[in-house]
Structures are given as C-alpha cells and as structure tokens.
Amino acid sequence: MPELPEVETIRRDLDREVAGKKIRAVDVTGMRSIRRHKNKKEFISQLEMRKIGGVSRKGKYLLMRLDAGDVLVVHLGMSGQLLRAKGPKEPLPKHTHVVLTFTQGGQLRYVDPRTFGELFVTAADDLESQVSELAHLGFDPLDDVMSWTRFGDLLYERKAKLKPLLMDQRFVAGIGNIYSDEILFAAGLRHDRSSDSLSSQEVRRLYRAMVETLQEAVKHRGSSLADEQYRDLFGEVGDFQSQHKVYDREGQPCRRCRSSIVRVRVGGRSSFMCPQCQV
C-alpha cells in the first residue's frame, strides 16, 4: 500500500500538473471505485465543468479542491495509481476505472487492479463525517513540526510497542510497514520496545529518524517494490527502495554492522530489523 512518501510525491505532482484545470468530461467503468455514490451519473455530474484548485493531503488521502467548496477525495488503497496522459489517443492501461479529461487537453486516469481504493466528491465541511478515519488522524510527520519533548510526551502517554504505534494512524498519520521498519533502524530501536521505556536521547533519535527518513523517501519519489504497483503521476517507479536499510533485506548484510538482517512477525506482518544495531 502506498504510504506517506508515495502519496506526498503524487500530491506534489498533481499540484503542479492539474491545479487550475477544468474537467470537461468524466468516464467511469463500474461502481467499485466510486462506491460512495449512488450511481455513475451522480459522481460525474459533481465533476464535469468543475475547476480543480490546489491539491492537499490528509494522511494517505489526496484532496483536490473544487470550485464551490467541494473536494474530490482519492484514496489509493492497496494498488491504486493516478496517471497523467496527454490525451485519449494514449492506450488505456488495464484496470483503468476513472478518467478525467480536461478542457485544456490531457487526462488524469485512475488505475486500480485490486479496487480497494476509491474516489468520491463531498463538501469540504462533510469530509470527516464521510471518512471517520480522518476525524481521528494523528499528527502529520511531514507537515506538523513539534519539539522532541512534545513527541516524547505523546510516546509516554501511549505505552505501546513502537512498531504498532508508528503504524497507528490515530497516533501518526501515513506511516506503514515499510517506513516503520526503516525509521526504527535509523533510530537504533527494536520494534517491540515500549514507547514509555525510551530515554530522552532515544526519543530525540526516533523523532529525527522519522522526519529524515520520510523526507529522504519523498526526495527519492517513494518506494516501488518488486511488483512495481506504486508509480508516480508520470508512470515512473520510485527509487527509495534502493536506499532501504532493512525492509525486504532478510539475510543480507546490515549496511551499518554487516550482521544479517532478520525477518520477524509483528502483528501478522513481516518486519525486518538488524538484531545488532537495534536495541
């Protein structure tokens, strides 16, 4: 599933490429990707001849502001992609479910093989009632700057194991399996350390590792794994997977100490760590 760096990469691309454009036509295949709407006509009528303003993000949700105060919400789910096309003559990728055609030319296509993602239009004021998850999101590690002491207070309040806590969207928004492993390695902390057991120095290391790892991942335009399901707006894969220190590197030497990276099960998921560098 795309995590914060991948969604932020797409957000920045969208803000440059589609902000200010007017939607001339909308084509929809099936209802699965627009399932919050009663029918295709309702979805299409709320988008045609509407102008897209800026593009923002809440956690892993993309928010395209429309004129008259509405928002086009996009959640990529497990395998969703937003792809720019120059026009209808470009072949449609398989599993294309929604196509927005702009009056100025060009298209925005929503592709989703597994169809866990979705698009819907809602009034900005109704966003949190439509998506209850958004009403309870934790802080955004890229946008919400805080002191390490405040971060430490939040850790101590939760008294939870570090990896599940980093992946808890109610605590911090946007971090998933990949980046929680990379952050914990950078901080030198085990996945099962309790959040209220950290020293002041460890709190500082964890906060710095979180911010720096995510910023570096955005710089490299996200991580594309072996299936290459994550692609940016231009159809290109990310590059941060080449920088991974532990994720999906079982049996390979640690880049820091040369010990073998091990795979462990955390909450039913495969997680990766260095048993020597993380304590």
88 is catalytic: no
Alpha helices, H only, the chain: 4-17, 40-45, 127-130, 132-135, 148-158, 162-166, 177-187, 200-219
60 is catalytic: yes
141 is catalytic: no
Please answer whether residues 197 and 217 qualify as being in contact, where contact means their C-beta atoms are separated by less than 8 angstroms.
no
Tokens at 167, concatenated: 């992946």
β-partners of residue 25 are 101
Tokens at 262, concatenated: 């091990």
Buried b (16+ CB within 10 A) or exposed e, 107-126: bbbbbbeebebbbbbbeeee
Q: Which residue is catalytic, options 50, 57, 60, 249? A: 60
Residue 166: name the closest of 267, 243, 75, 244 by CA.
Answer: 267
10 Å Cβ neighbour count for 94?
7
Strands 23-28 and 107-111: unpaired
269 is catalytic: yes
The DSSP code for 166 is H
Residue 20: name the closest of 66, 86, 56, 87 by CA.
Answer: 66
Q: Which residue is catalytic, options 3, 6, 8, 118? A: 3
Q: Which residue is catalytic, options 158, 256, 269, 275? A: 269
Residues marked as catalytic: 2-3, 60, 269
